[in-house]
Amino acid sequence: MNYTDKAKGIENQIDIPNSDKVAISMQNVSIKYNSQTAVKNVFCDIPKGKVTALIGPSGCGKSTILRAINRMNDLISGCSLTGKILFDGYDLYNKQIDPVEVRRRIGMVFQQPNPFPKTIYENIAFGARINGFTGNMDELVANSLKRAALWGECKDKLKESGYSLSGGQQQRLCIARTIAIEPEVILMDEPCSALDPISTLKIEETMHELKKNYTLIIVTHNMQQALRVSDYTAFFNAEKIDSSKSGKVGYLVEFNQTNKIFNSPKQKVTKDYITGKFG
Amino acid sequence: MKNISKKQKSKYENLYYHPYKKNNIKDKLLTSISILFSTIAILPLVLVLAYILIKGGSLLSYDLLTNLPEPPGDDIISAGGIGNAIIGTLIITIIATFISVPIGIGGGIYLAEYSKGALFSKFIRFGTNVLSGVPSIIAGVFIYGIIVYTKIIFGSNFSAIAGGMALSILMIPTVIKTTDEGLKLVSQELRKGALGVGASKFVTITQITLPAAINPIATGILLAIARAAGETAPLIFTALFSFYWSSSPQSILEPIASLSVLIYNFAIEPYKAQNELAWAASFILVLLLLFLNILSKWLSKRTNLET
């Protein structure tokens, strides 16, 4: 199969119902670490107000693509991107774009829960304060915690350290902290991979709550999770190609509504992956 | 079958510990040798502390801490106190800290957070290592040459400021190094978290990474102070000595007394009273340095518990 086929990218776009607006549009995105191509020729329109899951085997570039959306790859030296990522009419990789501003509007939750070494209250207030929030901070903290489904568990210990929470609670604190800055898009990089099944379930419930207000993009290794939480699924795969000296290069195989990806995938490789034949 | 079990039995009889087996004797010998050498290594510290405690501790009195020292030969029985030397050491050390901490922390932040392992940062790291090995007398002669001799600071020559500058040269490498290493210990996840909520690099460093690394940095500053406060050679060239109180703010532009220079001056006098004062000053200085070291140890222990 020919993954460089641009027509396929366009075909992917067609699958989005017209009623869903596009939040982020990736146009021929390729990302390199130094000279090593990690992921190539991605065309994908991520719909607004939906949960989109990026799935695929290890090394297929799904996390790389996710980090590219809010310029987190800038932290990795030697990482470069070609193509365009459009968000709200801006090309995020235009030279005039300030990555700090991008990250204010596209928040991110990481694989490892990483609360700040501050109180629970301060963990949430920090982001809002540095972003110039001037309203009622107590209210914002309470609302953010409620929306992250953590309020009940920690309303009596807001002055305690964020580290006093369990792993799952810490991750929900990180989600609350991201919500507090009122982003438009929330990226989640395998948010449940370090958590137990019960915490995972709670985070998934949180995601269902969040999608009413935000566009969510999550990377997951867990296909059941993708099936449970997402409206759309993008399946990435990695393939060894002759032109590269070493390593596999990731590419987008198929992007569609989640039920279509899981019930009637168009590509054979997608079917093989979701039925567990590889990966 | 019988044969095998017999063989096994004979093999396992040796499972008992034999103190005179060659390996066991060797083992014991090496253990005792290493214990012996480590005892010898700690011996100087214990002896020095004990000797100073006996010689100087008995002289401790209220007058000693509050009086001025008297020039040799004035009074055979008493040499006065070391009050101005204690204050002087504090003043010089505070000046040195005020100079070295901003420079050191700033340099450390650059190395850990901004530099990308390029030639410039390699040069700074190498330079820092070299500087930390520079003999303290060189720092003294250097400041003497560019500050004291030229009278560049408000026309004063030997002064507390010059002394503080000389000591800050000795402190800067330690502060840079511990800041650099302390910041590197801060988890990368924390930085990503801060950037992920839209913090700029400046905000991330000042509000997240620097506070997270405050304990190792404070430990480094304390160790640097402990090293500088005991130095003599750089102060002989820069702060000199004084028999008077440093009472007014202007006195930081004048020669100032310090414990270490007092020890140096009085220990070689032929008068017993002055020698005893030197012992008392040694006692106070060692006590101060011991306190700083224990404080820094406690701080670094707290860091390890937290992470």
Q: How many CB atoms are closer than 10 A to CB A251? A: 23
pLDDT at A148 over 90: no
First CA to last CA across chain B, in angstroms? 58
Domain boundaries, chain B: 15-57, 62-306
Contact between A110 and B196 using a beta-carbon 8 Å cutoff: yes
Q: Does A112 touch chain B (CB under 8 A)?
A: yes
pLDDT in tens, B143-188: 998 888 888 778 778 888 899 999 999 999 999 999 999 999 998 8
Domain B62-306 - what CATH class? mainly alpha
Nearest-by-Cβ selection for A116 from B116, B190, B195: B190
Q: Which residues from B are below 8 Å from A104, CB to CB?
A: 197-198
**pLDDT of B44:** 92
Within 10 angstroms of residue A227's Cβ, the number of other Cβ atoms is 17
Contacts of A116 in chain B (CB under 8 A): 190, 193-194, 208
* Beta strand A36-47 pairing with A51-55: unpaired
Q: What is the pLDDT of residue B168?
A: 94
Q: What is the ipTM of this complex?
A: 0.80
Say if residue A12's pLDDT is above 70. Answer: no
Which residue segments constitute the domains of chain A, with CATH numbers given? 6-114+187-274 (3.40.50.300)
**Residue A58 pLDDT:** 85
Buried b (16+ CB within 10 A) or exposed e, B119-152: eebeebbeebeeebeeebeebbbbbbeebbeeee
Which residues are CB-contacts of B249 (< 8 A; sequence separation ≥ 6)? none
Q: Give chain A's mean pLDDT.
A: 85
Inter-chain touch A72–B190, beta carbons under 8 Å: no
Q: Tokens 């992250």 correspond to what residue?
A: A148
Q: Does residue B192 sit at the A interface (CB-CB below 8 Å)?
A: yes
Which helix (H) or strand (E) is A23 found in, with range?
strand A22-33
Report the distance separating Cα B29 and Cα B34, nearest Å: 9
pLDDT over threshold 50, residue B210: yes
Return the HEC string of B106-153. Answer: HHHHHHHHHCCCCHHHHHHHHHHHHHHHCCHHHHHHHHHHHHHCCCCC
Task: Answer yes or no: is pLDDT of B307 > 50.
Answer: no
- Write the residue in A70, A105, A116 that is nearest to B208 by C-beta: A116
| pLDDT confidence tier of residue B66, bands split at 50, 70 and 90 | confident
Of A133-142, A217-226, B241-250, where does mean pLDDT reach its minimum? B241-250
Give the model confidence (pLDDT) of A217-249 as tens digits.
Answer: 999 988 889 999 999 999 998 887 766 566 788
Across all residues in chain B, what is the average pLDDT?
86
Q: Which of A198-202, B48-52, B66-70 has the lowest mean pLDDT?
A: B66-70
CB contact under 8 A, A100 and B200: yes
φ, ψ (nearest 5 deg) of residue B246:
-95, 90
Taking an 8 Å cut-off on Cβ atoms, the answer to whether A107 and B197 are in contact is yes
Give the model confidence (pLDDT) of A61-92 as tens digits.
Answer: 889 999 999 899 888 888 889 998 999 888 99
The DSSP call for residue B69 is B
Instruction: Say whether pLDDT at B76 is over 80.
Output: no
Smallest Cα–Cα separation from A231: which of A213, A254, A208?
Answer: A208
Q: What is the pLDDT of residue A3?
A: 41
Would you state the structure tokens that stand for residue B20, as one six-digit string? 């005179």
Here the tokens at position A152 are 């009940």
